[in-house]
Amino acid sequence: MTRMRTPIFRLLGIIAALSALAAGSASAEDLLQVYREAQKQDPAIASARSQWEATQERVPQARSALLPSVSASGQANVNSYDSSLSTNPKIHVSTNYNYGALTFQASQPLYRPQYAVALDQAKEQVSQSDFSLAIAQQDLIIRTAVAYFDVLLAEFNIELAQQQKIAVAEQLAQAKRNFEVGTATITDTNEAQAKYDQIVATEIQANNDLDRRRTALMAIIGRMPKSLKRVGRGFEPSLPAPNNVDFWVDSALKQNLSVRFAQSNFEIATLEVDRARAGHLPTLDLVANATQANNNGSVSSEFTGQTRTALFGVVLNVPIYTGGFVNSRVRETISLQDKSRADLEQAKRAAVSNAQDGFSGVNSAVAGVKAFEQAVSSAEVALQSNILGQEVGIRTNLDVLNVQQNVFSARRDLANAYFQYLLATLRLKSAIGTLTEQDLEDINRRLNG
């Protein structure tokens, strides 16, 4: 009778082992540590950050076209002249002389509407770059969290497979003993052996999957991750606040970063139309020029001289005919403006869809966590009942084996439900453009310390 009670004590040992593994993660890396490493090492966020820094230079570049420009040029020549005329008597002329000049030129645009529009565009592009960088940062948060939880789930699958193997090995050994003493058939032994072989194969697949998940996380943080902290006990998922889909949809239309990026893109396209139409307008520039030239002779003279010239005035340029270029450019920019308007509408619709999906995802994930918690509890009760049933002879080894599998599967599904809930909350906040590092800190507090 003592031997028949072994499986339930084995199960208690399994549960204790899993608890010890979770507690032993105190020295492991947590989600926030991994994310901050990703901020330093992820090439995608590094690219986005460099692009943002480059875009900041658009404004000074555009403004420079409206400011004065000054240039200087110099010239220095050493001249040698030699000429012979076949006359009678023969005439031969040979002379050397030098020439040098220094010129300063300055101009100040007085009326160039294209440049003013270009400056407005540059300012809008700088604002747009903030949205672009924020989108990349939100994407990094979600990618890091997904990769982090994928590794945890893969580790959980390995541990479950290992614990399943221990339990099934116990069942296999018991089936063999029962067969040897004549209290069970060879069928029980064969079924237990087949189940054990299947779990060994599952364990191999789980190890391979963990390698893939760790490699995916390495691609973000630039190194193989250490052991990772897990979701702590007492985890209690909560519904969206407020639990009203209209609130989240309205927030997405106003705050979604992709919508704001597309709106900025439309503004830039509208300014580009104005810039193209300005090609029909005249331009007016204030110009100045000063030149000093020195020479010590010429072909016909040996006298040295110095010349100074200066110019100050305005230059008016009136476009009359440009071969149809300006009209073609205007038509092109209007079409691109229409494209950006359509892109904006597409971004709004996507934001609405993402907000609705995110809202439903959180609600579904909360229900899923509660359902799987109940499933784990029910599976454990069913296992205890089957073990007692086996002891009194109304359940077989295979019955206990199948119910044990249900317990392990329910625990795995519960862990996955936890992870899906956490990811759903991140995606919902991303849909309304409010996802920040603080949200990861909130999740991090739920990890074992």
pLDDT in single tens digits along all 449 residues of the chain: 334 344 444 444 444 444 444 444 457 889 999 999 999 999 999 999 999 999 999 999 999 999 999 999 999 988 887 777 777 777 777 778 888 999 999 999 999 999 999 999 999 999 999 999 999 999 999 999 999 999 999 998 888 888 778 778 877 887 788 788 877 778 878 887 888 888 899 899 999 999 999 999 999 999 998 888 887 666 788 999 999 999 999 999 999 999 999 999 999 999 999 999 999 999 999 999 999 998 886 666 666 778 899 999 999 999 999 899 999 999 999 999 999 999 999 999 999 999 999 999 999 999 999 999 999 899 889 988 888 888 888 887 667 777 877 888 888 888 899 999 999 999 999 999 999 999 999 888 877 54
Residue 298 phi, psi dihedral angles, 5° rounding: -155, -175
Q: CB-based contacts of 29: which residues, under 8 Å, 6+ apart?
A: 225, 226, 227, 228, 229
pLDDT at residue 3, rounded to an integer? 40
Which residues of the chain form CATH 2.20.200?
A: 70-111+282-318
Ordered strands of the 91-111 beta sheet: 69-85, 91-111, 283-295, 305-317
Q: How many CB atoms lie within 10 A of CB 169?
A: 16
Cis peptide before 240 (omega within 30 of 0): no
Q: Is residue 375 within 8 Å of residue 414, measured between CB atoms?
A: yes
As a CATH number, domain 70-111+282-318 is 2.20.200
User: Is the full-model pTM beyond 0.85?
Assistant: no
pLDDT at residue 26, rounded to an integer? 52
Domain 3-66+112-280+324-444 is of which CATH architecture?
A: Up-down Bundle (1.20)
Task: Give the CA radius of gyration of the chain.
Answer: 39
Q: CB-based contacts of 182: which residues, under 8 Å, 6+ apart?
A: none
> Nearest Cα to 1, choosing from 183, 176, 180?
183
Q: Would the CA dihedral through 399, 400, 402, 403 be positive or negative? A: positive
CA distance 372 to 365: 10
User: What are the distances in angstroms from CA 422 to CA 51, 82, 142, 251, 362?
Assistant: 30, 91, 10, 20, 8
Q: Is residue 164 within 8 Å of residue 405, measured between CB atoms?
A: yes
CA distance 216 to 146: 10
Q: Is residue 18 within 8 Å of residue 166, measured between CB atoms?
A: no
Structure tokens at 325: 């270029």
Which residues of the chain form CATH 1.20.1600.10?
A: 3-66+112-280+324-444
